[in-house]
Each structure stands twice: as structure tokens, then as C-alpha cells.
Structure 1
Amino acid sequence: NREPDFDALVKKGHELIEAGMSAVVYCGSMGDWPLLTEAQRQEGVARLVAAGIPTIVGTGAVNSKEAVSHAAHAEKVGAQGLMVIPRVLSRGASPTAQKAHFSAILKAAPSLPAVIYNSPYYGFATRADLFFELRREFPNLIGFKEFGGAADMRYAAEFITSQDDSVTLMA
């Protein structure tokens, strides 16, 4: 019937936690989230959280308004954190536009720890200056997820995590 199987989602979430994961990331990068409606994505989050599964919510969306909606919903239902994803359909977006996008998301869920998901494949690379500018304004920004290649990982290690020991680098 082409509807999401939320029971299977919750079952898989429990399996992952029982296997030793500390949380699940729901709609964390590109994956199949574009096939879901905003309501379906939010129902998936609500079901995972209600089942007691620690859930990190990906904020990928076709526009900032939807990304903000996902962040606010995540905070409202008790998710554990956010994976903040750049404007995915804005190839070559300016740092100013990305800052506005990231800021709106972080502002929508100030109590949730958040990680910036950096993937140059999205058409924008988050650099250290922007990351630390955001971090000064949003203390809930605690980490940086790098998805680029070896050079991007070296950059993140040298210019982001080496600048602040409290920042977590994820690969």
C-alpha cells in the first residue's frame, strides 16, 4: 500500500539498541526520506521515541521551513538530538544562506544537542569559521559529522575538533 511500516521501524530500532547502539538516527542523511511526507517522517520520530528508542532526528528537507518543523517536532516529542543537514537542493549555496538555514534549525530546538552533518556532496562544505560562529550562538551545537573524503576528514580534525576539545567529530 506504499505506506510506511512504523511497526517494522520500531522493531528495527529495538534490534539496533539491543545490538549495542546507543541511539538511532532517523532520516539522517539523504536515504529515502524524500519519499516520505512531513507528517510521515514526524510520525516515525514520534513512534520511535514513544517506544523508548533514543532517536537522533535528521533535519534534511527541501526548504528551511520543513527542516525547522522537523527540529521543533523532535524537541516536542522528546527526541535525543538533531543531525542538522545543509540545504540539500541548493547547490553552491552561500555561507550566509547556509548559516541562516542552520540557525533557524538550531533555534527551533534549543534543548536538543545537535551535530552538523557535513557532506560536500550536498553542494556545500561547512567550514570551521561557520561552525564556530554557529557554536558561539547555539551552545546545543556539540558536534560535527564529516561525510566527505580523506581530505575533508583531515580538515575537520585539524580545524574543528582540534580547536575545541568539547566538540565531537563523527565519521
Structure 2
Amino acid sequence: MTSFTGIWVPLVTPFHGNAVDYAALQALASRLVHAGVSGLVVCGSTGEAAALGEGEQLEALDAVLEAVPQCPVVMGLAGNNMVHVLARVQQIQRRPIAGLLVPPPYYIRPSQAGLVDYFRALADASSAPVILYNIPYRTGVAIEPSTFRTIAQHERIVAVKDCGGDQSLTMRLIGDRQLQVLAGEDHLLLSTLCLGGSGAITASAHIRPDLFVRIAQLVRNGALSEAREIFYRLLPLIRLLFREPNPGPLKAALSMMGDMQDALRAPMQSASAETKKQLAHELRRLECL
């Protein structure tokens, strides 16, 4: 079973016009793996999964698995129709995935008991490990500490992407030692690692992934002063990448780097001219690191 440690990157989905640019996706995946990231996530929120058809999602997964067969790849899976989501599990797990990244059902805001039933049903149906995706500002419901403890008793529920923004919950999850805790808010990367988190799923690591990998290595080795120095040099970029809705600024930056077109699917919008100007400045500055 895959250990969810280190730096994982939730891949953007490149477009050429309005079609998925699978060649650019494969090249991006290869670049990130070459830089030393621990794994990749396909069809997370950064990948604009909600704007992709089911066929496109599976084709994106297949493209990444083909490009980096040696790299662990997690697939995002979101929905609020249990029958449909369980059917998707069966389709996805025909591929050699390292895990599923699953948020609570969005919009319907189930009770905590409903969350337990939902995640248990998914884990029962899955042959792959499950990473809980606690992101209440997208789903409308937060997973409570006691619910985490109950859900974590399932043998295939092994980790959590922590986007709750609640440091007390983060510390509790790490202290309980039931789940591997991955930072999901990029600006909380260093604090989560220093508190004992296992790693991060961080969109910002598309840019200078080597430095993000280095931070995780330094924390693991106890070199906190050097880790802080690198993190604070990256922090202006991290803040810029989330100044406007993700992945608008990120795709603008990747376009400047020559990785893909600056194209998103409506209603998502490209970054503003001012944000692009500041991103260009940050990219030039980071070239010197």
C-alpha cells in the first residue's frame, strides 16, 4: 500500500482551445516526477474536474499513468449520488491507481452519521486506499474530529487532505495517529510538516517542485531553519497563485513557463492582467533560487 508522504501535486488539466491537451498533461507529469515529487493527483479541484466529462476524466488518468508508470497516481472522485459514485469507483480501480481522493458529498450537506456511511461504502467498494478530502468551503460540510476517528477505523481509509483551515483540528488529527495528514492549504505546508504531518498535496508545487520537495526533506531531517528560509521565499508566489480562483493564476504561470496554453473552461476565468504581471515578476525572482 502506498505511503502518502512528501510532496504530491494535484495536476492542472491543460486545454488546447476547449479540448484537453493530453500531450501537455503528460509532459507536465513527467517534469514533476523528474523533479522528485512523491506522487500526482488527477482530477482534483485544481484539475477542474467538475468541468470535465466522465470520459475526459478517465482519459486524463490514463494519459498520466502512461506517461509516468513508475509514479504513484491518485484519482479524485467527487459526487453526491451514491449509486453513481460507487459505479465510478469500479471504473477507476480497473487502473493501477495508488488511491482515491474523496471529499464529502457536496451541496447536500449530510449529517456526520451520513458522512460515516458514505465513506465506509466507498472504502468497502474500493480496492485502493482512500484519502479523505476535508474541504468544507467547497462541500458545505466539515468532517468533525469524532467522525474522523470513526471513519479512520476502516482499513482502507488511510490519509486526509486537510483543507479545513483549523490548526487545532490539524494537530488533533496528527496526534491521533490514525491517518496520515497531508496539508491541503499551500500556505500551511510548513506548519503542517513541522507539527508532524506526513506531507502535502500542494498546487503551488507545479512551480519549482524541487524547492517544495527540498522543504519536506529538510523538515524530515530536522533542518528547520533552512526549511523556513526556502518556504518564506516561496510564500509570495503561493499567495499570488491563490489571489484569484484556482487554477486561474496557476495556469497563467505555467503558460509563461511554456508548459501549456493559458486556457480554462467557463465559468472559470484566466487571471487578471495585474496578477499576471506580478506572477511574471515572481517567476523571474525564483529563477535565482
- Per the normalisation by structure 1, the TM-score is 0.84
- What's the secondary structure of 1:76's corresponding residue? coil
Q: 2:106 aligns with which of 75, 85, 88?
A: 88
Matching residue of 1:108: 125
Query: Contact between 1:118 and 1:144, CA under 8 Å: does it hold in 2?
Result: yes
Q: Which runs of 5+ in 2 are unaligned?
A: 1-16, 184-289
Paired letter, 1:68 = L
Distance 1:88 1:15 in 2: 33
Q: Which runs of 5+ in 1 are unaligned?
A: none
Relative to structure 1, is the Cα distance of residues 143 and 106 closer, same or farther in structure 2, using a 3 angstrom cutoff?
same
| Pairing 1:17-166 to 2, within 5 Å after superposition | 17-29=33-45, 31-51=47-67, 52=69, 53-90=71-108, 92-110=109-127, 112-121=128-137, 122-136=139-153, 138-149=154-165, 152-158=166-172, 160-164=173-177
Query: Contact between 1:93 and 1:123, CA under 8 Å: does it hold in 2?
Result: no
Percent identity at matched positions? 24
Offset from partner CA, 1:27-47 (integer Å, 9 cap, x none): 223651111111111121122
Relative to structure 1, is the Cα distance of residues 157 and 125 closer, same or farther in structure 2, using a 3 angstrom cutoff?
same
Offset from partner CA, 1:35-89 (integer Å, 9 cap, x none): 1111111121122123314211111235333433443333211111111111122
Number of residue pairs the alignment of both structures matches: 164
Distance 1:31 1:50 in 2: 18
Relative to structure 1, is the Cα distance of residues 99 and 29 closer, same or farther in structure 2, using a 3 angstrom cutoff?
farther
Distance 1:66 1:30 in 2: 22
Query: Contact between 1:27 and 1:60, CA under 8 Å: does it hold in 2?
Result: no
Q: Which has the higher contact order (CA 8 A, sep 6+)?
A: 2
Offset from partner CA, 1:117-166 (integer Å, 9 cap, x none): 10121211112222222222x211111211122xx2321322x22122x5
